[in-house]
Amino acid sequence: MNKADLIRAAAAKDDSLTQGEVAKSLDAILESIAESLCNGDPVMLIGFGTFEVRHRAARTGRNPQTGESIQVAASSNAAFKAGSRLKQRLNS
């Protein structure tokens, strides 16, 4: 499912909202999640899951073609951890 599919599905679940309204709401929600993560704050949606920033330390890697050692810089990545209700739905 891509973003357009998600918007259509959400609009179909609630007849009082148009696809345009759902799209605006979804964009606002995604922007709020991104801003929170950029500030280092997790976003917890009880029962659904938690979005958080995970940090990776710098390390020495190896180029698979040449075998040469290379430095891999430290990085931060967004991660999602499923909540208990979502896990139950996936496993039933």
pLDDT tens for the chain, 92 residues: list them.
Answer: 999 999 999 999 988 999 999 999 999 999 999 999 999 999 999 999 999 999 999 999 999 999 999 999 999 999 999 999 999 999 98
Name 21's Cβ contacts closer than 8 Å, sequence gap at least 6.
11
Q: Which pLDDT score is estimated for 53?
A: 97
pTM, to two decimals:
0.80
Q: In Å, what is the CA distance from 64 to each residue of 49, 52, 69, 74?
A: 36, 31, 9, 20
Q: Which pLDDT score is estimated for 15?
A: 86
Q: Which pLDDT score is estimated for 25?
A: 96
Q: Which pLDDT score is estimated for 51?
A: 98
